[in-house]
Amino acid sequence: MKLSDREQDGVVILEPKGKIMGGPDASLLHEKLHECIELDKKRIVIDLSGVDWMNSTGLGILISSYTTLRNNGGMLKLANVTDKIQSLLTITKLVTVFEAYDSVDDAIASFE
Amino acid sequence: MGKPAISGNSITVPSDLKYLVDVDNFVEGLLREWGLDESTVADIAISVSELVNNAVEHGNDPPAGGDGERLVKVTVGRLANTVKVSVSDRGHGFDPTEIDDPLADENLLKAAGRGIFIVRNLMDEVDIKTTPDGTVVTITKNL
């Protein structure tokens, strides 16, 4: 997995690419999310358009980040969720937890 | 053994999550050689990654049968209408009935505990066997 990030309208957009399956790659995303929280950047969108698939480790990173942000007055939102990840969110009922948007722009606008 | 070893349709790796990528490349490579569609490849790859994660995190500490090297072996097989993958470790196994229901409201926001649940949803069969030599989980995907 590779990870890039940018900022738009006060929202941090994280753009992982590849697969989120555990091991060193997953640590990268986990650490980046917590770095944002420590820097008081609490409005975060994860653009999943470049993620082929993720497993329960990836879902766990999203959940722990979601709860940490929410407990600190922030919010994590998802954009461009692929069919495979949408399917995982559905079978795990996490679709009821995350706000997901069809585009990064829509996700950013939802913070307004 | 300090690095992945491939023999036919099997790959054996040291019990370390840094080798997940090697296992995934090997498994997905075989599945694509066999002409499986991308959705099926992803379902199997996700499931294998869950089982290898479990084997590394829980299955090899301490190893069954003494102080031998901690390894995880993954074997992929293709039959006419199914793909079978076995993931073996040297651990003492686990009781799948003791895993909390990840869909229960009190567990929904837990960061862990969904691996086997996801595998059961993506695969058609999941068989877990524990012997004195370790644990073998075999998954079957109908094509």
On the question of pLDDT at A35 being above 80, the answer is: yes
Work out the mean pLDDT of chain A and round it to a whole number: 92
Residue B134 confidence (pLDDT): 87
* Tens digits of residue pLDDT in B106-132: 999 998 889 999 999 999 999 999 888
The encoded tokens of residue B93 equal 């196994």
How much is the average pLDDT of A59-73? 90
Q: Do B46 and A91 lie within an 8 Å CB cutoff?
A: no
Owner of token pair 């567990």: B107
Out of B20, B109, B118, closest to residue A88 by CB:
B118
Work out the mean pLDDT of chain B and round it to a whole number: 90
Give the whole-number percent of chain A exceeding pLDDT 90.
Answer: 74
How much is the average pLDDT of B74-91? 94
How does DSSP assign B60-122, residue by residue? TSSPTTSS---EEEEEEEE-SSEEEEEEEESS----GGGS--TTSGGGTT-SS--HHHHHHHH
* Tens digits of residue pLDDT in A78-92: 999 999 999 999 999
On the question of pLDDT at B98 being above 80, the answer is: no
Portion 13-52 of B in contact with A at CB < 8 A: 17-21, 24, 39, 42, 45-46, 49-50
Contact with chain A for residue B118, Cβ under 8 A: yes
On the question of pLDDT at B63 being above 60, the answer is: no
Residue B31 confidence (pLDDT): 97
How much is the average pLDDT of A31-56? 93
- From chain B, the residues in CB contact with A93 under 8 A are 103, 108
- In angstroms, what separates the C-alpha of A61 from chain B's closest C-alpha? 7
* pLDDT band for position B64 (cuts 50, 70, 90): low
- From chain A, the residues in CB contact with B44 under 8 A are none
How much is the average pLDDT of B12-18? 92
Q: Do B102 and A84 lie within an 8 Å CB cutoff?
A: no
- Whole-structure pTM value: 0.92
Which residues neighbour B138 within 8 Å (Cβ) at sequence distance 6 or greater?
A: B84, B85, B86, B87, B125, B126, B127, B129
On the question of pLDDT at B70 being above 70, the answer is: yes
The encoded tokens of residue B114 equal 């969904």
Q: Which helix (H) or strand (E) holds A54?
A: strand A51-54
Give the separation between CA A22 and CA B19, rounded to whole angstroms: 10
- From chain B, the residues in CB contact with A91 under 8 A are 117-118, 121
* Tens digits of residue pLDDT in B17-41: 999 999 999 999 999 999 999 999 9
